Structure 1
Amino acid sequence: MPMCALRSTERANGLWLMAGIIFAASTDTVNSTLTQVAAPEITGNLAASVDEGAWVTMAYTMGRLFAFLAAGRFIERAGLYRTLVACMGANMGLCATVLLGPSLWGVVLCRALQGLAGGTVTVAAMAALILAIPRAQHAYAQAGWGVTTMLGPSLLAYLCGAAADAYGWRLAALWQVALALAAMACLWRTLGQREPAIVARSGNDALGGLLWGVVVVTSQFAAARGTRYNWTDVDWMLPLVGTAGTACVALVLWHGRLHVGPRLVDTTALRRPEFNFACITAVASSYG
């Protein structure tokens, strides 16, 4: 099958799509916060070690990395909107599984699968917003997307922490199931829309995907370690951050030739300001 990208030829229902993506992003934030709160209880003690917490965090990060590289294949097989709904359904089931309080390794497995589902939603959602919302409404879409991705995680994390302290993490975790249901209900309305057309791609996807993977792995790992240690004291951490920075510079300089967001967005979309806006806010919110 030839490499391809998605390009919209039909106007889609942008309001339902935007609402579904906002709920989906909120589900991911709530789940991440509550997993960190519940980790000590899941491991059977009140002082989970740094290594145990790192396993939970890195499982999710690696799941997202694989999703970034494989999302295009999922969409080719199932379609853009079906992929969004299926990933949210899987995420809801995994959220409910974590509520059962399995072992530490059970939580690690759930977090890896949640990263796979959530990462696929992130990649597909960016393309879906660009393709679905009419250009005249892009300003409103960008404003809503920016406020949600920048302010939403901080507010939801605070509310979840307060609820977990007051009612226990299991009861507070019901929020994520409710948000996932709301996301599925909104995204379900998009299933009747015509799928974007497939157009030809060039052969630079592998290099673009490799650079994007380097950026994601190195920067996220450095950020995760930075919350637990003084990472400037680790000899190999500075080269790791330098590698991430070099890959970012390469993507910025060569974005006209490389197809970032593997197999999904073509160079015409990469040159559009709304795509750059979505990428910047999404990356910035991941460090919030």
Structure 2
Amino acid sequence: MLPAAHAYETGSRRIIITLTVIVSAMLELIDTTIVNVAITEISGNLGASIEDVAWVVTSYAIANVIVIPLSGFLGNLLGRRNYYIGSILLFTAASLLCGIATDIWTLVFFRFLQGIGGGALLPTSQAILYETYPPEDRGKATGIFSMGLVLGPTFGPLLGGFLVDNFSWEWCFFVNIPVGLLAAWSAFTFIKEPKTVHKVVKIDWAGIGLLTIGIGSLQFILERGESKDWFETPYITWFTIIAIVSLMLFVWWELRVEEPAVDLSVLARSHNLAIAAVLTFVVGYGLYGSLFVFPVFVQRLLGFSALLTGTVLFPSALVTGIIALPLGIALQKGASAKILMTVGMAAFSIFCWELGQQTMQSGAGNFFWILLLRGVALGFIFIPVTMLAVAGLHGKDIGQATGLNNMVRQLGGSFGIALTNTYIVKRVAEHRNEILSNLSPYDPAAVERLNAIGQAAQSRMISPVEAEQVALRALEGTVTAQSYHLAYMDAFMLIALLFALCMPLLFFIRIKKGEKADLSQAH
């Protein structure tokens, strides 16, 4: 039973708090992807190279992944309500400073500050939402929150494409200001500090330092490794060593210290949280990995604009939002999490496999039903795995579980993008060699293609020598496009295989009938 001191919100107050935490969580998630479509514009406007501008994305991701697992500890230290409101205000202020930055490294610094503020919003929003709803409505709360988890990353490129096309890249940051201020006011007015909290007696500076160094280094490697040819670059090797050593020391220290910044022992106390963490990592890998490949594929090879790409992706996120609440209620009423996740994992695997069958002639209509399947799959995965992470936990363990689970999803996404990108580069080279091995002066099809291009060029009053060069360049372009197309298809099918291989993990889930999470001290 929950202590009498804990009173759940009702009526309009509950609705306002729900909207506040969902909007705050979506602010954080939208900003993980909204800037991606503005990289070229930022580069031209600030006179920076594309490689330097990539730090605008990298710095935010590094700050995020450091802060997320510390959110429970910092909420205990500063007061959950104060920490939440302060994080929203920091995120909002940093958004303004990003928008008025006049050079690339100032923008990168303010983007890092924005990530520090944003990192708290996801896990703390989730914990606040769980406190707001009584146990019998927790499935509904999970369904509502899951809408933001899927809508945010998908809505980011659509919103970013619209703002860049119709205004300027600065508006990717300015758009956060009115929403952030409204969310901060709403949190200040309606969200209460829990009456029962876990007071921090001693700050775990060593744990915080080791986590910051270890996770920060790991995120840096994942963000920059492929562009620097991984371990061919000495500082990538050194950062890898630093990450491994720091994270090993972090785990050792957190398991022995009395007041850990991140209570890793909760993984040992909750079998389901450990399973949920693995599944969440895989889901993050698949979600962000496929979301990374799809826009590149349709924009580079099929000629989609950024706005069209976002428009094509949006209905799938809308489907997830529509089914999230009914699925959450169904789980609360006793639906099997195992069955729902099995359906979701299988559907996502089929979605990726079908993407892997697309051709260079595919248009927006070819993706409609495939992407709707993605929306259904994510709904059937996200909601059960989110509830699974907190099932059977009590008090302050809820805050630790939500922080760990959100960190794992972010890391899964980072691994998904980094490894998928590396895999694509490798497969492009392999497919190029395969295609070229089938081309020769004795291949009738190749000769016929070159002659046709050459004759078309000569018809435009180009000399025979120049026409031959035009034909060879055209053939080179065709080989390159086909190589990338095959590599992108391979990447989709690899993600499909990963999901299929991870499905046996679902058999290890053990949820006792009626098992709930005690949220009386969650923060």
- How many residue pairs get aligned? The number is 277
The whole-number CA distance in structure 1 between the counterparts of 2:103 and 2:239 is 35
**Could you say which residue in structure 1 is the equivalent of 2:409?**
284
**Could you say which residue in structure 1 is the equivalent of 2:49?**
48
Name the aligned partner's letter for residue 10 of structure 1: H
CA contact (8 A) 2:63 2:113 kept: yes
Secondary structure of the residue aligned to 2:197 is: strand
The whole-number CA distance in structure 1 between the counterparts of 2:268 and 2:4 is 11
1:26 aligns with 2:22: no
Q: How does 1:9-88 map to 2 (within 5 A)?
A: 9-13=5-9, 15-36=15-36, 37=38, 39-43=42-46, 45=47, 48-50=49-51, 52-64=52-64, 67-68=67-68, 71=71, 74-76=74-76, 78-88=78-88
Q: How does 1:207-246 map to 2 (within 5 A)?
A: 213=212, 216-225=215-224, 228-231=227-230, 240=240
The whole-number CA distance in structure 2 between the counterparts of 1:237 and 1:9 is 53
1:144 aligns with 2:140: no
Alpha-carbon distance change, 63 to 280 in structure 1, aligned in 2, over 3 angstroms: closer
Once the two structures are TM-superposed, the CA of residue 224 in structure 1 deviates from its matched residue by: 1.1
Alpha-carbon distance change, 172 to 71 in structure 1, aligned in 2, over 3 angstroms: closer
Name the aligned partner's letter for residue 225 of structure 1: R
1:155 aligns with 2:158: no
Once the two structures are TM-superposed, the CA of residue 170 in structure 1 deviates from its matched residue by: 3.1
Once the two structures are TM-superposed, the CA of residue 153 in structure 1 deviates from its matched residue by: 0.7
Q: How does 1:83-162 map to 2 (within 5 A)?
A: 83-162=83-162
Secondary structure of the residue aligned to 2:109 is: helix
Question: What is the RMSD computed on CA atoms of the aligned residues?
Answer: 4.6
Name the aligned partner's letter for residue 109 of structure 2: L
Alpha-carbon distance change, 181 to 204 in structure 1, aligned in 2, over 3 angstroms: closer
Once the two structures are TM-superposed, the CA of residue 211 in structure 1 deviates from its matched residue by: 7.1
Alpha-carbon distance change, 227 to 186 in structure 1, aligned in 2, over 3 angstroms: farther
The whole-number CA distance in structure 1 between the counterparts of 2:50 and 2:21 is 34
Q: What are the Cα deviations for residues 243-277 of structure 1, in whole angstroms up to 9, with x where unaligned?
A: 66x959x97xx999889982689949973633557
**What are structure 1's unaligned runs of at least 5 residues?**
1-6
**Could you say which residue in structure 1 is the equivalent of 2:167?**
167
Once the two structures are TM-superposed, the CA of residue 126 in structure 1 deviates from its matched residue by: 4.1
Alpha-carbon distance change, 218 to 106 in structure 1, aligned in 2, over 3 angstroms: closer
Q: What are the Cα deviations for residues 201-222 of structure 1, in whole angstroms up to 9, with x where unaligned?
A: 7999678757755663344223
Identity of aligned residues (%): 16
**Could you say which residue in structure 2 is the equivalent of 1:262?**
261
Q: Which moved more, 1:90-99 or 1:56-65?
A: 56-65
Alpha-carbon distance change, 103 to 126 in structure 1, aligned in 2, over 3 angstroms: same
The whole-number CA distance in structure 1 between the counterparts of 2:108 and 2:55 is 7
Name the aligned partner's letter for residue 409 of structure 2: A
The whole-number CA distance in structure 2 between the counterparts of 1:261 and 1:8 is 29
Once the two structures are TM-superposed, the CA of residue 241 in structure 1 deviates from its matched residue by: 9.5
Alpha-carbon distance change, 279 to 158 in structure 1, aligned in 2, over 3 angstroms: farther
The whole-number CA distance in structure 2 between the counterparts of 1:8 and 1:227 is 54
Secondary structure of the residue aligned to 1:198 is: coil
The whole-number CA distance in structure 2 between the counterparts of 1:76 and 1:70 is 10
Name the aligned partner's letter for residue 222 of structure 2: A
Name the aligned partner's letter for residue 284 of structure 1: R
CA contact (8 A) 1:88 1:184 kept: yes
Secondary structure of the residue aligned to 2:120 is: helix
The whole-number CA distance in structure 2 between the counterparts of 1:150 and 1:214 is 29
The whole-number CA distance in structure 1 between the counterparts of 2:25 and 2:155 is 13
CA contact (8 A) 1:142 1:278 kept: no
Query: Which of structures 1 and 2 has the larger relative contact order (alpha carbons within 8 angstroms, sep 6+)?
Result: 1
Name the aligned partner's letter for residue 89 of structure 1: L
The whole-number CA distance in structure 1 between the counterparts of 2:169 and 2:4 is 42
The whole-number CA distance in structure 2 between the counterparts of 1:260 and 1:231 is 37
Once the two structures are TM-superposed, the CA of residue 73 in structure 1 deviates from its matched residue by: 6.3
> What's the TM-score, normalizing by structure 1?
0.69
The whole-number CA distance in structure 2 between the counterparts of 1:82 and 1:64 is 19
CA contact (8 A) 2:87 2:121 kept: yes
The whole-number CA distance in structure 1 between the counterparts of 2:134 and 2:107 is 41
Name the aligned partner's letter for residue 40 of structure 1: S
